[in-house]
Amino acid sequence: MATITVTVNGKPHTNDVEPRTLLVHYLREQLNLTGTHIGCDTSQCGACVVHLNGQSVKSCTVLAIQCHGAEVTTIEGLAPQGQMHALQEGFWEKHGLQCGFCTPGMIMAAADLLERNPNPTDDEIRHGLEGNLCRCTGYENIVRAVRYAAEKMAVPAGD
């Protein structure tokens, strides 16, 4: 066992973990943050994407002990309690989800994409989300949702 301290969604947590514990299992099993999902065992599907020190990572491919001292943001912490991030709004407005299982990872990956490229073309959105699989939507409405968020985020605050 190793003891780690990780700041998750702004709150510090100190826990004992097995060295082999995956970040996704730490979040889901020990912190009860079950919004981060597991859809595969080969780092393909992206359902487990979270932000580690501000960058998107597949939390099934990161060990919990690697996150000692780090900041992790999950879907539960993307927006302040009771509010929605522009991407969450976009997915709702544009019907960017059906079963919702891939959605938390998809939104977290899209948030990172918009951070790097605030005004992506449809093609850039499609390529930017290549690490996330969705089986329900055919991606058309996910593209619309991300575009909605990009447009909304481009409006200066207060407008």
Residues that bind other proteins (CB under 8 A): 18, 20-21, 25, 28-29, 32-42, 44-45, 47, 74-76, 79, 84, 88, 91-93, 95, 97-104, 107, 122, 125-127, 129-143
* Whole-number Å distance between alpha carbons of 38 and 60: 8
Q: How many degrees, rounded to 5, is the angle at CA 151 between CA 88 and CA 52?
A: 50
Select 18 or 115, whichever has its Cβ closest to other proteins. 18
Task: Taking each helix axis as running N to C, give the angle between helix 103-116 and helix 86-93, from 0 to 180 degrees, rounded to the nearest 10.
Answer: 120
CB of 99 to other proteins, least distance (A): 3
CB of 114 to other proteins, least distance (A): 15
Give the residue with the Cβ less far from other proteins, 67 or 142.
142
Residue 38 or 70: the one with the smaller Cβ distance to other proteins is 38
Residue 146 three-state SS: helix
Least distance from other proteins to the Cβ atom of residue 27, Å: 10
Choose between 71 and 89: whose C-beta lies nearer to other proteins: 89
Residue type, 45: C
- Which one-letter amino acid corresponds to residue 155? V
Closer residue to other proteins, CB minimum distance, 2 or 40:
40
Minimal distance, residue 158 CB to other proteins, in Å: 25
Cβ contact 125:145 at 8 Å: no
For 7, phi and psi rounded to 5 degrees?
-95, 115
Q: Residue 89 Cβ, how far from other proteins at the closest point, in Å?
A: 8
> Which residues on adjacent β-strands are paired with residue 155?
none
